[in-house]
Amino acid sequence: MKFEKEILCIGAGYVGGPTMAMIASKCPQYRVTVVDIIPEKIDQWNSADLPIYEPGLDKIVKQARGKNLFFSKDIGAGIKAADIVFVSVNTPTKTFGAGAGMAADLQYVEKTARQILEYSESSKIVVEKSTIPVRTAQAIKRILVSDKSDVHFEVLSNPEFLAEGTAMRDLENPDRVLIGSQETDSGLKARNELVEIYANWLPKDKIITSNIWSSELSKLVANAFLAQRISSINAVSSLCEETDADVGEVARAVGLDSRIGSKFLQASIGFGGSCFQKDLLNLVYLYCHYGLNEEADYWEGVLKINENQMDRFVKNMLRNMFNTLAGKRVCVFGFAFKANTGDTRNTPSLTVVEKLLAEQAEVAITDPKALDNAARDLKDAKGNYELISDPYEAAGGCHAIAIMTEWELYRDLDYQKIFDSMQKPAFIFDGRNIVDHDKLFEIGFNVFPIGKPKKVHF
Ligand SMILES: NC(=O)c1ccc[n+]([C@@H]2O[C@H](COP(=O)([O-])OP(=O)(O)OC[C@H]3O[C@@H](n4cnc5c(N)ncnc54)[C@H](O)[C@@H]3O)[C@@H](O)[C@H]2O)c1
């Protein structure tokens, strides 16, 4: 079958896989290929057991795979055939050299640009899907025009706003799609081509366009605002704990102001995941680069509150469990950085587990989807820990439970059964405020929510 367009995505990760599966499923007239430098990842995408867990992803991949969605190891052939190349490679925080611990590590993006140049025999639109510092398109373009004057490349910015755990829903019905281009004739033409792809399933008013630098910056700013809201409500939660105010009631009262809105006002252990911290650090680095130090300090404060929230959580456990956790068994409910994903990158759970191990607690970790990743993340951890898939078994014999991930299943467990199997006094520290605190208190637990009055029996 002859397809109308050949679309390639470089990078078969949490963004590349789901976004391309959605494009393939909504646009049967296009052929969509996803490539990666890790061959095992491609094997997994071609198997029954996909490399990532995301509700709804399995179904969509299985429907389109082999028809107009392909996962391939042949990056060169993919580039040669493509009309449009999405770049969806990782852009982690740099761990070495200048800007270590803050700047984005752009080596994967740069290598991708060089690969595109090497294998291209015809003109292409190159789309930045990865989150990158503002003005990266310029660097990509410079590499792409450094050779082959007969081949034209147009670089667009099309940042991805999906959230893990709801990626398929977000892709199918996003708040908006943003496409940035250079405002030249060829830039605007390329931008329209990308608009037409999304218009296959989205109304045009959801597809917004801008200049390329605004588009690049918008992604960093969107994540900074989301993270800032979490840190803002978390900063309120500590004051609530001191004053017997209830952060849930405060959030409701504040969020009903239509200028503020009610979303993302849920106090918790703090944010994790591969994006918020990395993108905030990236933004702070950009401010510093331009000498805007006060603004850099402001955004850095969001990260400090987040770290402080995890620190406070463990100190609270320690203080309330008679100032020692040594030799005590603590059960950690959830290792994924949020519900409905197996992703554990920058998960608050890892930070909390490391702090518990440093206190010489014995830690039993349970999670429905993230235990393989937990095993990898904890392989160098010093201390006594176990990974147990059954939450009842994990909690048995423990002094305390710490709820780290808002998995629905943790709301509905038989807490009487769990209480009966635990050491007494039994403690529960709810880092997500998801369980019924009154009910647990009635059962006999000493209950410590985030930002709400504690409920204790002594
Ligand atoms: N994960 C999210 O929720 C999310 C949301 C929005 C935006 N983003 C951004 O999207 C980008 C990708 O994130 P991710 O979570 O999908 O990362 P990921 O690590 O899951 O996937 C990136 C993939 O790119 C591959 N890769 C790296 N260099 C390559 C090369 N030269 N050729 C072929 N493949 C290569 C890696 O092997 C990896 O499989 C990042 O910039 C991230 O900030 C992520």
Are both 185 and 251 inside the same structural domain?
Answer: no
To test ligand 1's pocket by mutation, which of 157, 176, 274, 376 has the most ligand atoms within 8 angstroms of CB? 274
| Residues 418, 421, 422: CA angle, nearest 5 degrees | 90
Are both 147 and 229 inside the same structural domain?
Answer: no
Are both 18 and 98 inside the same structural domain?
Answer: yes
Position 317 in a domain: yes
- Quick one: what percent of the chain has pLDDT higher than 70? 100
Rounded Cα distance between 174 and 108, Å, is 27
Whose CA is closest to 163, among 373, 337, 374, 376? 337
Rounded Cα distance between 365 and 394, Å, is 7
Q: What is the mean pLDDT of residues 144-156?
A: 90
Residue 449 has pLDDT above 90, yes or no: yes
Rounded Cα distance between 251 and 231, Å, is 13
Q: Which residue has the tokens 């646009």?
A: 27
Query: Using one digit for the tens of pLDDT, what is the confidence trace for 285-307?
Result: 999 999 999 999 999 999 999 99
By DSSP bridging, strand 385-387 and strand 400-403 are: unpaired
Q: What's the pLDDT at 191?
A: 97
Position 96 in a domain: yes
Are both 198 and 228 inside the same structural domain?
Answer: no
Rounded Cα distance between 36 and 24, Å, is 17
The minimum-distance atom of ligand 1 relative to the CA of 38 is 37
- Residue 108 Cβ < 6 Å to ligand 1: yes
C-alpha 68 – ligand 1 centre gap (Å): 22
Rounded Cα distance between 330 and 142, Å, is 54
Q: What's the pLDDT at 214?
A: 96
Whose CA is closest to 77, among 112, 46, 16, 121? 121
Position 302 in a domain: yes
Are both 243 and 112 inside the same structural domain?
Answer: no
The minimum-distance atom of ligand 1 relative to the CA of 52 is 20
Q: Are 108 and 90 in contact (CB under 8 A)?
A: yes
Q: What is the mean pLDDT of residues 37-50?
A: 98
Q: What is the mean pLDDT of residues 223-231?
A: 98
Q: What is the mean pLDDT of residues 111-123?
A: 96
Residue 49 has pLDDT above 80, yes or no: yes
Residue 290 φ/ψ region, left for φ over 0, alpha for ψ in the -120 to 50 degree band, beta for the rest:
alpha
What is the DSSP annotation of 392-452? HHHHTT-SEEEE-S--GGGTSS-HHHHHHHS-SS-EEEETT--S-HHHHHHHT-EEE-SSS
| Entry pTM | 0.96
Query: Using one digit for the tens of pLDDT, what is the confidence trace for 182-194?
Result: 999 999 999 999 9
Q: What is the mean pLDDT of residues 6-14?
A: 98
Are both 219 and 315 inside the same structural domain?
Answer: yes
Rounded Cα distance between 14 and 163, Å, is 10
Lowest mean pLDDT among 114-123, 145-154, 356-365, 389-398: 145-154
To test ligand 1's pocket by mutation, which of 8, 9, 14, 220 has the most ligand atoms within 8 angstroms of CB? 14
For ligand 1, atom 19: residue with the closest CA? 90
pLDDT-derived band at 409, boundaries 50, 70, 90: very high
Are both 421 and 278 inside the same structural domain?
Answer: yes
Q: What's the pLDDT at 80?
A: 98
For ligand 1, atom 17: residue with the closest CA? 90
Residue 228 has pLDDT above 80, yes or no: yes
Position 80 in a domain: yes
Whose CA is closest to 310, among 359, 266, 272? 272
Residue 309 has pLDDT above 90, yes or no: yes
pLDDT-derived band at 147, boundaries 50, 70, 90: confident
Q: Measure Cα distances from 357 to 108, 325, 354 in Å.
A: 34, 9, 5
Residue 262 has pLDDT above 80, yes or no: yes
Are both 24 and 159 inside the same structural domain?
Answer: yes
Q: What's the pLDDT at 279?
A: 97
- Residue 12 Cβ < 6 Å to ligand 1: yes
- Residue 160 Cβ < 6 Å to ligand 1: yes
Q: What is the mean pLDDT of residues 411-440?
A: 98
Q: What's the pLDDT at 149?
A: 80
Neighbour count for residue 210 (Cβ, 10 Å): 17
Q: Return the axis-axis angle of helices 276-289 and 212-243, rounded to nearest 10°.
A: 110
Are both 306 and 412 inside the same structural domain?
Answer: yes
Position 309 in a domain: yes
Are both 113 and 193 inside the same structural domain?
Answer: yes
Q: What's the pLDDT at 2?
A: 86
Q: What's the pLDDT at 432?
A: 98
CATH number at residue 36: 3.40.50.720
Q: What is the mean pLDDT of residues 196-207?
A: 98
Domain final position from 202, 237, 263: 202
Residue 14 has pLDDT above 80, yes or no: yes
- Residue 131 Cβ < 6 Å to ligand 1: yes
Q: Which residue has the tokens 């709301």?
A: 411
C-alpha 311 – ligand 1 centre gap (Å): 29
Which residue range is the domain that position 278 belongs to? 212-458
Domain final position from 144, 173, 202: 202
- Residue 93 Cβ < 6 Å to ligand 1: no
Q: What's the pLDDT at 61?
A: 98
- Residue 15 Cβ < 6 Å to ligand 1: yes
Domain final position from 168, 202, 236: 202
Are both 171 and 231 inside the same structural domain?
Answer: no
Residue 148 has pLDDT above 80, yes or no: no
Q: What's the pLDDT at 271?
A: 98
Mean pLDDT, rounded, of the chain: 97
- Residue 237 Cβ < 6 Å to ligand 1: no
Whose CA is closest to 108, among 10, 226, 215, 244? 10
Residue 1 has pLDDT above 80, yes or no: no
Rounded Cα distance between 142 and 73, Å, is 27
Q: What's the pLDDT at 396?
A: 98
Residue 443 has pLDDT above 80, yes or no: yes
Are both 138 and 77 inside the same structural domain?
Answer: yes
Position 207 in a domain: no
Number of domains in the chain: 2
Q: What's the pLDDT at 83?
A: 98
Query: Using one digit for the tens of pLDDT, what is the confidence trace for 421-433?
Result: 999 999 999 999 9
Residues with a known catalytic role: 275
